[in-house]
Amino acid sequence: HDLAHRRYQAASELYFVARTFAAGLPERRRLFRLGIETLLAGELSGAALAAGREHLGDLATDEPTLRLLIRTAIAADRAGQAEAARYYGMLVELAPLRGAIVEEAARFNASIGDHVAAAELFFAARHRAAELADRRRYFRRDSSSRCT
């Protein structure tokens, strides 16, 4: 059993090494995903979480990669849920005005019992939406005064 685990780990490491030589974001994302999925195929969810942290690098601002890590962390175990919440936070930082992402993150935090984090996300989203509405009103008013 231990030998099989080492083979999955070695195979995933090859994907992560190959990622360093990959040209372009799609190829780096694909190799990262394959490295994580290889560990998951070997039922090494803890190792997959650790590899995600270790090899994330420039993919920390890539939405599909963050979603992969969220799914990986949720599937891992109770300890992985805290990590999933962290990746949700990174995802919200990428797209703070995308209500669906903020709502998804708030619902996840509520589902794991972190109601404070869920409420903070909800109120931060409402504050950002109000700021955006104020900016839109300002620019609409400003542009209409120039047209006359």
pLDDT digits (tens, 9 = 90+) for 8-42: 899 999 999 999 999 999 999 999 999 999 999 88
Mean pLDDT of 108-136: 73
Residues 132-147 have pLDDT tens digits of 666 666 666 655 555 5
Q: Which residues contact 26 (CB under 8 A, 6 or more apart)?
A: none
* 61 DSSP assignment: G
Q: Which residues contact 13 (CB under 8 A, 6 or more apart)?
A: 35
State yes or no: pLDDT of 1 exceeds 70: no
- Distances in Å between the alpha carbon of 17 and those of 9, 69, 72, 96? 12, 19, 20, 32
What percentage of the chain exceeds 70 in pLDDT? 78
pLDDT for residue 54: 94
Residues 70-89 have pLDDT tens digits of 888 887 776 678 778 878 88
pLDDT for residue 119: 81
User: Backbone phi, then psi, for 112, in 5-degree steps?
Assistant: -100, 10
Sign of CA dihedral 54, 55, 58, 59: negative
Give the whole-angstrom CA distance, residue 121 versus residue 80: 20
* 130 DSSP assignment: H
pLDDT for residue 4: 67
pLDDT for residue 106: 80
